[in-house]
Amino acid sequence: MSTSIFFDQSNVELVDICQRWQLTFSEGSAFELKYHNQRLALHKRDEPKVSGIIVDFVGGAVAHRRKFGGGKGQAIAKAVGLKNGNIPSVIDATAGLGRDAFVLASLGCNVTLIERQSVVAALLEDGLKRAYQDPEIGKWMQQRMRLHHGASQNSLNELGIEADVVYLDPMYPHREKSAQVKKEMRLFQTLVGSDDDADELLPPALNIAQKRVVVKRPDYAEYLNGQTPSASIKTKKNRFDLYSVL
């Protein structure tokens, strides 16, 4: 499926990226992709003051979390069953900007990321490319994080890979007033939409996972596919619902 977006057609590197991801030029698109300083960024054209979305595993918030974020004590690590002597392999079937996947990879997990939205996948690929070349994290990033573009309803079966854990974090409509949701996040939500077909992901995820499926939800959200989990881990704003398949 091709996606239409606005971009500078005289920027050779950008045109190349857009062609590879089948992103066609649209004069009227609300979004713009920019390529500057070797970074791909997504902007909303009517909000020029809001900084663009880029995937940066080397610096910024995720790098800070890697160094000071609590390691294996984090709820997400507990949710996938990560502890000394057990480092599960993970398929992140709703990869988004790869933040959760990166936390797990930085703790040792091999993570396959699946993302269906072409613009998001292009941003992810760009972030991975830079991370793979980084002297500090490049080596293990190349070993532990790989991207697959596709819809997980199909890809989970078609990829033919096994993993201990399938991790799902589909979009969920936010309750907070829009001003409270970070502007950057609002931009991402506007692009991606609300993942209304998310319930369809649980059956194939349960089929593929060797140990458990983990579903991240806002604390007020109903269970995915109406299915009661084996256990839940609660954080300040979210819940990790665990579906054991053992």
Ligand X SMILES: C[S@@+](CC[C@H](N)C(=O)[O-])C[C@H]1O[C@@H](n2cnc3c(N)ncnc32)[C@H](O)[C@@H]1O
Q: What mask of x and - would describe binding to ligand X in positions 8 to 47, judged by CB under 6 A?
A: ----------------------------------------
212 binds ligand X (CB under 6 A): no
Measured from the CB of residue 240, what is the shortest distance to ligand X in angstroms?
Answer: 11
- Structure token pair of residue 4: 């239409």
127 binds ligand X (CB under 6 A): no
Separation CA 146–CA 11 (nearest Å): 27
Among 14, 115, 130, 147, which residue sits at the site for ligand X (rule: CB under 6 A)? 115
Measured from the CB of residue 190, what is the shortest distance to ligand X in angstroms?
Answer: 12
> Interaction with ligand X in 166-195: which residues (CB under 6 A)?
169-171, 192, 195
Measured from the CB of residue 157, what is the shortest distance to ligand X in angstroms?
Answer: 12
114 binds ligand X (CB under 6 A): yes
How many chain residues bind ligand X (CB under 6 A)? 20
Among 34, 65, 78, 99, which residue sits at the site for ligand X (rule: CB under 6 A)? 99
Which spans of this chain sit near ligand X (rule: CB under 6 A)? 94, 96-100, 114-117, 120, 151-153, 169-171, 192, 195, 201
